[in-house]
Structure 1
Amino acid sequence: MCDPAKRDDIFDRLKYIPIGSDDVYLTLSGELRTRVNYFSNPQGRKSEHQRQDSYRIFVGTDLHIGEHFRAYGELARGPMDGKNIGSPSGTLSNDLLVQQAFVDGTWQVGQVDVGARVGRQVFIDGSNLLLANRDNNTVQTSLTGVRAWARGSTLRADVFDLYYTTYGNGGIGDDPIDWGRRFSGVTAGIVLPKHLFGGSKLYLDPFVWRLRNREATWGTETAREERIYAGAHLWGEAGPVTIDWTANHQGGSYGSRDLDAWQVLLAGTYRLGKANTAPRLGLHFDYATGEAPMGRAS
């Protein structure tokens, strides 16, 4: 967007606002979403219906300082009204919050791009059935900490150490870092050979993650919980077939009890025709098992 000849939209000018020189500039962004959720017999009990009228408003500013450094800030507002909404959580109704505020730097070492990001950020990686930003909510999940990466043409490695944000319903001052909920780990990425299956674009992302909650509640009991995820995510396309497969083992402990569970999450489609607009047949299969002492499922 620094080239005026390429600006063909009224908002393109907001994507490049120079500050003093060509390589120091602002990019502005925003999102406005309205959504209505209607529930008859909420929570499966015969009762008056519930209607949630939610509004999502994001405003972001991206400051680029040269080729290697940037700072990003994002304010979010999520008002909600409707009927019988009760006491919605801070992820569904929030007057104002800092949803993201981070700085990052990127460099090129040989043929490898390396970088690091520090601050509050929306973080997703790997299978969206294991880790997602909860986009259904008015406010997305954000975490605070550090993420670093190294990425080549066929390999990548991401490491992270993050803490969750606890959302209130009011203004900016009631969304503190929850130092008791820590998420850290490593995710790798491998571009598989393109000649597989007669031509494909497939990617394998093995991962090892650790999720710790110092005060996890199960029923009436509160204890320290630590979960270790070890698995892999295979995704991409091969001819008319798309796949999104995840296998994951979940270990760790809850209080004095061990956790031991497996998850196999399989999704895919088959395109009925050569055009990208052709209809597709899809299949989604999930399998999970768990074992813990005293009959408690993990």
Structure 2
Amino acid sequence: MMRRVPYIGLLLAILLPGLAWAQDAARPAFKTHRFDEDWRVLCADPALRTEPLDRLKCLKLGADVSLTLGGELRERFEAVRNPGFGLQQDHDHVFLHRVLLHADLRIQNVARLFLQFGSLTQSGREGAPSSTDVDRLDLMQGFVDLMLPLDDARLTLRGGRQEVSFGASRLVSVRDSPNARRAFDGGRAFLTAGGFRVDAIYLRPVLLSPKVFDDETNKTEKLWGVYGTGPVAGPLKADLYYLGFERDRGRFAAGAAPEHRHTLGVRLFGKAGAFDWDVEGVFQFGSFGNRDIRAWTIASDWGVTFESLKLQPRLGLKADIASGDRNLADGRLGTFNALYPRLPYFSDANLVAPANFFDIHPVLELQLAPTLQAEIGWNALWRQTTADAIYAPPLSPIAGTAGQPGRFIGQQVIVGIEWRVIEGVTLAGQYVHFVPGRALRRIGGGTTDFVFVSAAYKF
């Protein structure tokens, strides 16, 4: 099996000796979304070309045309005892292999074509394969941008297959831990002016298929809306948004039916001195079959960083609550739907979805070295109402938990580490120990132990 894990080991052996240990401040940084990078500065200043593959980052095709080539290779190993609380199997492990290559063609600041292709495979999984494990070769992203200057503002029109993230990634985001990241087909327009930005979207998620160039638009779901962000006063910033969501068949403890949901939200965030904060409130309404939807969530992340101390510790506290359905037979659905949230949400063990819950999550972050970070956290979760189910990701009620006595979902200890070895090379790992509460134990759920280690190279 190990012979099927060649990508990172071979490339690191070739590239590590020649790579620089420091990144010039004027060089662009790698981003979560690779299309957010702009490497044209390497054309203007050849002195910034300090890495072995920098010749690929800005290829001049004409006076006003440039091409950037890049990619990512990632190997990730996961092992778990009692996946899904052991309700279906008692152990599993898997090697996930990800190869992404992209090309970014720009014509001045007027037009752009971004293409990203991927090959995603797995080896070793003993249980049922995940839908995000394998996509042998396909178009991960492919879109065209048209940029229109408007005095002191700029309007960008984007159409095609694309990744999308908003705000703190609680409602719309990629899923980076699984092999396949989340993408959408559709259109996006965004207007930027000063520190403000407003996005309008109309999208459908991509339906993954394991063969070659066979991914399709998921026509059973759609997402649309408007998302605005900008400064308020001093260090305080705010997001204000509306998101519409439809799917042909939603499934909750109350049953299955067509779902039409509207989401209104506001997020306040910022940093002042040693303190940082991120608070978000959301209200949802709409219809679920012949039921009315009334759901909500409040999420927060508070922290203080002691930069003058050794290891620059940050003490953080996440506290969240999302509504559940207090009466499955009253003609109203109260379960919150986080739509397309980041994965993982609570931990990489990915055992619980952010619906019908409240939790507290204190965390200690340590800067062990300039490029080495560690995190230690404890996360306790309860149900907002015992009438509703405990939900597993992405949003599936765990059979037998609705109406089961016992509000406590469980608690998990999380220990993680990330080492940015050199520019573009990252090693990471996490261990999670999850002890379930009474409701899960009564249906046969057991303690889960999860560990992952990964190595990724971006260029």
TM over 0.5: yes
Cα distance change of structure 1 residues 85 and 14 upon mapping to structure 2, 3 Å threshold? farther
* Contact persistence 1:133–1:142 (CA under 8 A): yes
User: Is the counterpart of residue 278 in structure 1 residue 312 in structure 2?
Assistant: yes
Cα distance change of structure 1 residues 100 and 275 upon mapping to structure 2, 3 Å threshold? farther
Moved more, 72-81 or 235-244: 235-244
- Among 29, 34, 47, the residue aligned to 1:5: 47
Q: Which TM-score applies when normalising by structure 2? A: 0.60
- Among 239, 249, 255, the residue aligned to 2:273: 239
Structure 2: how far apart are the matches of 1:250 and 1:220?
A: 17
**How far did 1:167 drift?**
0.5
* Contact persistence 1:259–1:290 (CA under 8 A): no
**How far did 1:55 drift?**
1.2
**How far did 1:274 drift?**
4.4
Q: Which AA in structure 2 matches 1:204?
A: A
Determine the structure 1 residue equivalent to 2:152: 111
Q: SS state of the match for residue 172, structure 1? A: coil
1:84-138 CA distance string (max 9 Å, x none) = 142321x222211211000001122111111110000001112312222111111
Structure 2: how far apart are the matches of 1:277 and 1:220?
A: 48
Cα distance change of structure 1 residues 220 and 271 upon mapping to structure 2, 3 Å threshold? closer
User: Is the counterpart of residue 17 in structure 1 residue 51 in structure 2?
Assistant: no
* Contact persistence 1:165–1:178 (CA under 8 A): yes
Structure 2: how far apart are the matches of 1:22 and 1:104?
A: 19
Determine the structure 2 residue equivalent to 1:197: none
Determine the structure 1 residue equivalent to 2:124: 82
1:3-61 CA distance string (max 9 Å, x none) = 32221111211111111x13212100100111111111222237442001101111000
1:192-271 aligned at under 5 Å gives the runs 192-194=232-234, 200=235, 202-218=236-252, 221-271=255-305
Q: SS state of the match for residue 43, structure 1? A: helix
**How far did 1:264 drift?**
0.4
Structure 2: how far apart are the matches of 1:276 and 1:147?
A: 45
- Among 153, 156, 172, the residue aligned to 2:213: 172
Structure 2: how far apart are the matches of 1:75 and 1:159?
A: 26
Q: SS state of the match for residue 79, structure 1? A: strand
Q: Which AA in structure 1 matches 2:287?
A: S
- Among 169, 183, 196, the residue aligned to 2:223: 183
Q: SS state of the match for residue 64, structure 2? A: strand
**How far did 1:220 drift?**
9.7
* Contact persistence 2:187–2:201 (CA under 8 A): yes
User: Is the counterpart of residue 135 in structure 1 residue 170 in structure 2?
Assistant: no
Moved over 3 A (4+): 217-222, 273-277, 290-293
**How far did 1:276 drift?**
11
Q: SS state of the match for residue 168, structure 1? A: coil
Q: Which TM-score applies when normalising by structure 1? A: 0.91
Determine the structure 1 residue equivalent to 2:359: none
Q: Which AA in structure 1 matches 2:106?
A: H
Structure 1: how far apart are the matches of 2:105 and 2:259?
A: 39
Structure 2: how far apart are the matches of 1:146 and 1:276?
A: 47
* Contact persistence 1:75–1:97 (CA under 8 A): yes
Unaligned residue ranges in structure 2 (runs of 5+): 1-41, 336-459
Q: SS state of the match for residue 171, structure 1? A: coil
* Contact persistence 2:113–2:143 (CA under 8 A): yes
1:56-77 CA distance string (max 9 Å, x none) = 1110000112221100000111
User: Is the counterpart of residue 42 in structure 1 residue 77 in structure 2?
Assistant: no
Structure 1: how far apart are the matches of 2:217 and 2:104?
A: 23
* Contact persistence 1:75–1:100 (CA under 8 A): yes
User: Is the counterpart of residue 124 in structure 1 residue 185 in structure 2?
Assistant: no
Determine the structure 2 residue equivalent to 1:59: 101
Cα distance change of structure 1 residues 275 and 185 upon mapping to structure 2, 3 Å threshold? farther
Q: Which AA in structure 2 matches 1:76?
A: G
User: Is the counterpart of residue 72 in structure 1 residue 106 in structure 2?
Assistant: no
* RMSD over equivalenced CA pairs, Å: 2.0
* Contact persistence 1:244–1:267 (CA under 8 A): yes
Moved more, 55-64 or 40-49: 40-49
Q: SS state of the match for residue 220, structure 2? A: strand
Structure 2: how far apart are the matches of 1:276 and 1:28?
A: 40
Cα distance change of structure 1 residues 52 and 219 upon mapping to structure 2, 3 Å threshold? farther
State how many pairs are aligned.
289
Determine the structure 2 residue equivalent to 1:294: 329
Q: SS state of the match for residue 139, structure 1? A: coil
User: Is the counterpart of residue 149 in structure 1 residue 190 in structure 2?
Assistant: yes
User: Which structure has greater strand proportion?
Assistant: 1
User: Is the counterpart of residue 97 in structure 1 residue 144 in structure 2?
Assistant: no
Cα distance change of structure 1 residues 24 and 191 upon mapping to structure 2, 3 Å threshold? same
Structure 1: how far apart are the matches of 2:267 and 2:310?
A: 24
Q: Which AA in structure 1 matches 2:69?
A: L
* Contact persistence 1:52–1:85 (CA under 8 A): no
**How far did 1:192 drift?**
2.1
More contact order relative to length (CA 8 Å, sep ≥ 6): 2
Unaligned residue ranges in structure 1 (runs of 5+): 195-199
Cα distance change of structure 1 residues 284 and 169 upon mapping to structure 2, 3 Å threshold? same
